[in-house]
Amino acid sequence: MQYVHKVYNYVMIDEALIRTFFATLELEPEIADIYIALYTHGPQTISELARNSGIERTRIYRLSDKIASSGLIELETQYKRTIYKAAPISNIQILITKKEQQLRALKSSAPKMTSMFSAPARDLSATKVQFYYGADGAKQVFWNQTKATTETVAILHENMQNKTGASFFERWVHRCNERQLKHRGIISDAFIATQKDWYRAHNNERLANWEAHYMPDATFPITHSTIVYDNVTVHYNWRDAEVFALEIYNRLIADTHRRYFELLWRLAQPVNDLAGPREA
């Protein structure tokens, strides 16, 4: 069968709503862009889809399993090529049903979880060191940060969303903004580069109370990220072959790292993290 590349649907669609809806279902943000491209232009080869969606071919290949399991995009294998088609949007009801089932399971487990942790709260003045390994561990550290009762200060090697993905990042930002948490960060060229790379393709909710200062590598190389809030000091490193995080619960150590931060903050210059130091 020969597919002719043409625009199938001229009806105006709310792309922002589609992306938000897909993100709520915890689908990769690129799947929303792929669905929009298929809805607009009809069935396509991967080359056409890459061009119309703005997503690289290699990324579409890596998403193939998730695309198929979403039930929203159909793949038809032909001789030496695969044709991508938009499935009926009514298929989204299947995903909603799965979410409802998950929610019911969570609700049924909640009373037991509450009773398990109803013992008196631990002494927060006690020292504790917690090690986390892998991507899920790093995400847990980030989520712990949303429970902060004080300002968060951080020395950041790169942004988090390029690693965590859009769905987690959006929930994290929303919770931080909901609690009106204040953040200050010292960043370098590596952080600014990852911010620009992310926001060229995404338009997420951003931290409402975020201020950044720029520190050049020649003055102070930032090789990993440090976060401080309450009595917690976090060191984390997220690289392809090594992902780990270390939480230290100790008031004196946290206060010392805050003083380090303030010294660097005064040396660094205010910056727009999407513009860079020369354009700020």
- Give the mean model confidence (pLDDT) for residues 186-200: 90
Q: What is the pLDDT of residue 215?
A: 93
Secondary element (H or E) of residue 11: none
Tens of pLDDT, residues 98-140: 888 888 888 888 888 777 666 555 555 578 999 998 888 999 9
Tens of pLDDT, residues 132-167: 988 889 999 999 999 999 999 999 999 999 889 899
Q: Answer yes or no: is 276 within a domain.
A: no
Pairing of strands 210-214, 269-270: antiparallel
CATH number at residue 59: 1.10.10.10
Say how far apart CA 57 and CA 51 lie, in whole Å. Answer: 9
Tens of pLDDT, residues 209-227: 999 999 999 999 999 999 9
Domain extent for 175: 128-270
Secondary structure of residue 8 in the 3-state scheme: coil
Q: Are residues 132 and 234 in the same domain?
A: yes
Domain edge (last residue) among 91, 115, 143: 91
Say how far apart CA 185 and CA 154 lie, in whole Å. Answer: 5
Q: What is the pLDDT of residue 12?
A: 66
Counting every residue written for the chain, the total comes to 280
pTM over the 0.75 mark? no
In the chain, the number of structural domains is: 2
pLDDT band at residue 95 using 50, 70 and 90 as cut-offs: confident
Q: What is the pLDDT of residue 22?
A: 85
Q: Are residues 176 and 231 in the same domain?
A: yes
Please give the single-letter amino acid code of residue 232.
Answer: V
Domain edge (last residue) among 38, 62, 91: 91
CATH number at residue 194: 3.30.870.10
Q: Answer yes or no: is 10 within a domain.
A: no
Tens of pLDDT, residues 238-260: 876 788 899 999 999 999 999 99
Q: Answer yes or no: is 197 within a domain.
A: yes
Q: Answer yes or no: is 158 within a domain.
A: yes
Q: Answer yes or no: is 137 within a domain.
A: yes
Q: Answer yes or no: is 5 within a domain.
A: no
pLDDT band at residue 74 using 50, 70 and 90 as cut-offs: confident
Residues 6+ apart with CB under 8 A from 173: 204, 205, 206, 207
Q: Are residues 38 and 167 in the same domain?
A: no
Residue 112 token pair: 């037991």
**Within 10 A of 70 (CB to CB), how many other CB atoms are there?**
21
